[in-house]
A and B are shown apart, each in its own frame.
Chain A
Amino acid sequence: MPYVMVAPAMTFLLVFTFYPLANLVYLSFFRYNLISDKVFIGLTNYRNLLFVKKDFIQALKNTALYSFAVVFFTILLAILFALWLEKDSKINRFLQKSMFTPYLIAMVSTAYIWSWMFDVDSGLLNAALAFVKLSPLRWLNDSSLAIWCIVIVSVWKSLGYYLLIVLASLKSIPSEIIEAAELDNTPWLRKFFRIILPMISPQIFFLLITITISSFKVFDSVRVMTNGGPGNATDVLVTYIHRYAFQMNMRVGYASAAGSLLLGILMILTVFYFRFAGRRVHYQ
């Protein structure tokens, strides 16, 4: 009986999640454009990706920079805001709800709204800069600034959600421990680093992994805001894969190799996190 209940779900997962995974790696060893037959070329795709062409490495660098910036700022701000908004009051609850709202709307919409605010000629941000007598910036058209614009958008969108998670974990700390710390005359910083942080470390660790993985998958915002540009300053792994799969003569094999590398990177990162950060997590 239980097999009957589980079968549909497992079938779907096998067909649409695990088979494509295996197939992706399989295809990466071929040259394939969906029309003519596959041609086996061994590790050629990988060699090109990593050593011959430069654009994959560039996309990888951009993605890594973007991801770690998002992880760093999101977690830092989520913790700071959670500590600031911890008490139950009307303004705190309202601010929490307001900060959570961007999480629910589509990334594309977010990207459009912010693209408009980043607009060089009529955008709000340049107007604000002009208001305080500073010179305008080129935002999304600036090859070193563009990626940071996308980081800002991502943090604005997801902060509220992660804030709520950190808040829940702060509330799970028994209040008596904090009271004991107060009676021990603990200065604020020590209270945070030696008591609060260790007690929420499992959840923070979870966030670290989750946000990193979801950041490496970024596509929507880049596509809408810069489409990888200027040049390839904001090209990320998924826009790279998408472009090679659908736009540049359907180089499916090559794109699959890039996808396999993305998968590999995600797995390595997870292991890395467990190895290095996992040890410092205090489980109770």
Chain B
Amino acid sequence: MHSKYTGFKLRRLAVSGISFTFKLFMLVLFLFPFYWMIVTSFKTYGESIVFPPTLLPHTFTLEAFEQVFTRLNLWNYLKNSVTVTVAVIVIQTLIGVPAAYAFSRYSFKGRGIMLALVMAAFMVPTQITFITVYIMMSKLRWLNTLLPQIVPFGASAYGIFLLRQAFMQVPTDIIEAARLDNAGEIKIMTRIMLPAAKSSLMTVTLFSFVGSWNSYFWPLVMSNAEKVRPLTLAIERLKDQDAGINWPVIMAGNMIMVLPVLLIFLLMSNKIISSMGYRGIK
């Protein structure tokens, strides 16, 4: 008896073969811009403007990178980016963790309103607050310091919200037991709550890091001297000098900016992605 489904398995195999090929194609599509950035940064200016462009540099050169290092005071920009990012993460943690802890474990008058404010703050974009904050910073004469890039971000509404969720998951019995053991609030926070919320903490820290390191709009508005500008604003300096854009140099500059983040991701990609599993919100 001949079943009409005999060709079924064969068809399935063919479909998965085509699917696999398409996936490889997608990989190329998505990763190609990175490849292109890398390749361009190792070309000479002359080769970069050749049409049609070469897929691999015929002359492999580091002159683009040399130009980046000589024309820019990279150290200055790098220092600023690192300082701002680290400072923001530290302050957000110091301020956010106690707040999240308080929101999760205490009930106090005004808690509801405050929580609602935190949620609302989450939705207010910096593209709206910047005018007033600029005026504030200008009056304080802070515009030639790193402070405007750090201080306004002291409280992360997103961080407080996420950490509060994580803290609420910790079973009450453990905390009660700790209290019976005479542990102070700080100890409870650091020894019990934080370890339990490791995954959320990682998500929040990553979010802060990426947000700070990649920030462009805010430092653009809030800095009026080169000495306080971060890496994201440095690339523009490479553009102004030339009449036509020297793409290898621009790409080299971008590579330097992109590298730290890519390295972190390569090392911790599995952890990062699994911590995002929590983001299936509501």
Please give the distance in Å from B192's CB to the nearest CB on chain A: 15
Residues 143-185 (chain A) with a chain B CB within 8 angstroms: 156, 160, 164-165, 168-169, 171-172
Q: Which of B67-75, B169-177, B271-279 contacts A (4 or more CB under 8 A)?
A: B271-279
Residues 123-173 (chain B) with a chain A CB within 8 angstroms: 123-125, 127-135, 138, 151-155, 157, 160
Please give the distance in Å from A198's CB to the nearest CB on chain B: 15
B90, CB-defined interface residue at 8 Å: no
Q: How many A-B residue pairs have CB under 8 A?
A: 232
B60, CB-defined interface residue at 8 Å: no
Q: Do most interface residues of chain B lie in helix, strand or loop, or is the interface mixed?
A: helix
Contacts of A114 in B (CB 8 A): 33
Please give the distance in Å from B270's CB to the nearest CB on chain A: 9
A262-B258 in contact (CB<8A): no
Partner of B36, one of A13, A91, A116: A116
- Residues of chain A having any CB pair with chain B under 8 Å: 1-6, 8-13, 16-21, 23-24, 27, 34, 84-85, 91-92, 94-102, 104-110, 112-114, 116-117, 119, 121-124, 126-127, 130-131, 156, 160, 164-165, 168-169, 171-172, 202-203, 206, 213, 217, 219-220, 223, 238, 241-242, 245-246, 252, 255-256, 259, 262-263, 266, 270
CA distance A223 to B118 in the complex (A): 30
Partner of B102, one of A2, A130, A219, A262: A2
B217-A21 in contact (CB<8A): no
Contacts of B124 in A (CB 8 A): 17-18, 21, 263
B127-A262 in contact (CB<8A): yes
CA distance A169 to B214 in the complex (A): 28
Please give the distance in Å from A84's CB to the nearest CB on chain B: 7
A13-B221 in contact (CB<8A): no
CA distance A123 to B50 in the complex (A): 9
Residues 89-128 (chain B) with a chain A CB within 8 angstroms: 95-96, 98-99, 101-103, 106, 108, 111, 114, 117-118, 121, 123-125, 127-128
Contacts of B250 in A (CB 8 A): 112, 116
| Residue ID in chain A nearest B94 by CB atoms | A8
- Residues of chain B having any CB pair with chain A under 8 Å: 19-20, 23-24, 26-27, 30-31, 33-34, 36-37, 40, 48-53, 95-96, 98-99, 101-103, 106, 108, 111, 114, 117-118, 121, 123-125, 127-135, 138, 151-155, 157, 160, 185, 210, 213-217, 221, 232, 235, 247, 250-251, 254, 257-258, 261-262, 265, 269, 273, 276-277, 279-282
